[in-house]
Structures are given as C-alpha cells and as structure tokens.
C-alpha cells in the first residue's frame, strides 16, 4: 500500500494522479477535510481508502498498519507561515513527521517528505548547508528542525528517506489555497476579472516586477518524488527547484501570452513587506544532480501555458 498524506492538497493530489498514471490505485489518502473544497482535488482520482490525519497517526502508533506500507509520501503539514502557535505547529509538523519517519524505518518502508525552501529565510544562498539555514517563522522552523533531526539519524537509517525543499511551486490543483496560491494562479484570476496582472513596483534595487524567484512546476516536483522512490539507494535532504530564477514579469507575460490579451499594472510595494520580503531565490540543485537526478525542469514559458489550459477546463466553487 502507498500512503500519501496531504493527499487532497496541492502537491499530494498531483502525486496521487501520477501514481494513478502508473497504474497504482492501492493508495491510502490521508488529509484533514475540514475545508471540504479540497475534495475537488481527489474527485477525479482513484484511491483505495481515505482516513483523517489524526486517525491515521493513531493507526501508525497502534501497530494497525504494520506490514502493510510500501512508501509514505508525506506532504501534509500546517503550511501557514503566519501561524505563531508554536505548540500547534510543532505537533502537526515536527512531531507528526518524526512518528512517520520512525514507523517507516521500523517497517523498511521508504519515507519521502516535504521540507521547504523557507528554511533559508533571509539568506542569500540556497544550498543544503547548516550555516545558510535561517528560518524566520514557525512553519520554516518546524521544517528546518526535522531536516536537522534526519541529518543526525541518517547514518543509521536502514530504509530510504528523503526530504525535498520545495521552492515556488505552481500548477494544477492549488486553487483551494486562496491567498497562498501561486502568482501564476492569481495573475490568471486577475486577468480574467479585470484584464490586468498586478505586480509590485520595484524595491531593494529591483525594477518594477523584476523581483525573482525559482518557480518550479508541480509536475516536475512530482517527478522528483517518484524518482526518489524509484531509487532507494538515495537518501538525504535535497533542494527541489529548477536551479534558475525568473521574474514575476516573466510569469505575467506568460499568462498574458496564453490568453492573447491583457496588460501589466504595477502597484506600490506594501510598507509591511519592506525588509521582510524575499526578492530573490534560486535553488542550488547540485546535491540532487550529484545523487543522479538528470531530468530537466520546465521554464515558466513552457509550463504556464500547460497550467492555463488546465485551469480553463476546470469548474470550482466560486469560479
């Protein structure tokens, strides 16, 4: 059996789809569906069963799942970067992940989990080294702390385990995230509603809309997850981006090009974000490449049209 936590979420549901495409339907989907709109992400997919995240952890700790699990793709977490209830975040992200990690080690099952590029915080370097990891919120700290926990245990691991530090992921099945959805999603919504894509004016030496991020397509993120499962000889903590930075202008232009209409409007940079905004990210992909991953990553110009076509074919509540 394959377990996907956060299965109704963005990356989790794309993983379920990719597993279906491989012919696998023996999937236990784990999530918290208090936001019932996330069901749209699973409605067109095939799973063997669904279980709430708390009930799943209970089954893990009680031994009910012993001998049944082949791999856990752990994508579930409290991902709200504004959540400062540290006890809540650590229970949901750190302690929960530790429990699943030790279960997989005991069972000989692969464990592939979502870390985050947020562990780098305000750093200007994005490489998997302790000295450049500077988490700035509870979410980032919880991810950072488990990466550190894994590093200490890695020499003694008997089953494959890998963490992926996701950079700016975008693509299908993220619509439920609201304000946390990607800029590609928001630009599409703005253009459909108002005919314009709104970008921040320049700041900290960047021209209007020229702040840059490592935008990585969700299909490529899923491909890395599945490659790690296919290569049990590989364990560790890895960046998961494209290795290139592109501007917000690039994303907006790609959205406009697909629609064949629209314009860009630059709005004042919010005062509350000054000094607390990442104007540049670019994943150092050497560690993953050295581990043997050779596939290419789509550029914004390649992936955005695919994403826009998918969005145009969807019917969600409120759209």
**Which among 113, 120, 139, 307 is annotated as catalytic?**
139
H-helix or E-strand spanning residue 19: helix 10-21
Structure tokens at 88: 């809540």
CA torsion angle 269 271 275 278 (round to 10): -40
Q: What percent of the residues of the chain are helix, what percent strand, and what percent coil, each to the nearest 5?
A: 45, 20, 40
For this structure, is 298 an active site residue? no
Burial 245-273 (b: 16+ CB within 10 A, else e): bbbbbbbbbbbbebbeebebeeeebeeee
Q: Residue 110: beta bridge partners?
A: 71
Helix (H, G, I), strand (E, B) or coil at 282: coil
Residue 255 CA to residue 257 CA, distance in Å, equals: 5
For this structure, is 185 an active site residue? no
H-helix or E-strand spanning residue 225: helix 218-230
* Contact status, residue 6 vs residue 76, Cβ threshold 8 Å: yes
**Signed CA dihedral, 113, 116, 120, 121: sign only:** negative
**Which among 50, 98, 149, 177 is annotated as catalytic?**
177
Residue 13 CA to residue 157 CA, distance in Å, equals: 28
Q: Bin 173: left if φ > 0, else alpha if -120 < ψ < 50, else beta.
A: left
Burial 118-145 (b: 16+ CB within 10 A, else e): bbbbebeebebeeeebebbebbbbbbbb
Question: Among all residues, which ones are annotated catalytic?
Answer: 139, 177
């Amino acid at each position: 059996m394959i377990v996907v936590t956060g299965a109704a979420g963005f990356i989790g549901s794309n993983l379920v789809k990719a597993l279906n495409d491989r012919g696998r339907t023996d999937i236990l989907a784990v999530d918290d569906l208090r936001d019932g709109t996330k069901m749209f992400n699973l409605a067109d997919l095939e799973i063997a069963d669904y279980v709430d995240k708390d009930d799943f952890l209970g089954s893990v700790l009680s031994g009910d799942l012993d001998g049944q699990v082949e791999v856990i793709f752990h994508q579930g977490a409290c991902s709200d970067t504004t959540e400062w209830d540290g006890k809540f975040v650590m229970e949901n992200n750190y302690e929960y992940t530790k429990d699943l990690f030790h279960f997989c080690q005991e069972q000989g099952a692969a464990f592939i989990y979502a870390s985050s590029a947020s562990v780098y915080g305000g750093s200007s370097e994005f490489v998997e080294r302790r000295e450049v990891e500077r988490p700035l919120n509870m979410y980032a700290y919880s991810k950072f702390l488990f990466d550190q926990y894994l590093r200490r245990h890695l020499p003694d691991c008997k089953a494959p385990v890998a963490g992926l530090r996701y950079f700016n992921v975008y693509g299908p099945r993220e619509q439920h995230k609201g304000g946390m959805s990607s800029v590609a999603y928001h630009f599409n919504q703005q253009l459909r509603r108002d005919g314009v894509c709104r970008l921040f004016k320049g700041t900290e030496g960047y021209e209007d809309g020229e702040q840059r991020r490592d935008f990585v397509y969700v299909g490529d993120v899923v491909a890395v997850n599945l490659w790690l499962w296919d290569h049990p000889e590989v364990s560790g903590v890895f960046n998961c981006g494209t290795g290139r930075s592109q501007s917000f202008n690039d994303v907006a232009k790609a959205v406009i090009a697909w629609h064949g209409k629209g314009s860009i409007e630059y709005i004042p940079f919010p005062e509350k974000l000054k000094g607390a905004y990442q104007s540049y990210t670019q994943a150092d992909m050497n560690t993953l490449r050295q581990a043997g991953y050779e596939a290419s990553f789509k550029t914004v110009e390649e992936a955005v049209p695919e994403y826009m076509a998918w969005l145009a074919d969807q019917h969600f509540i409120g759209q």
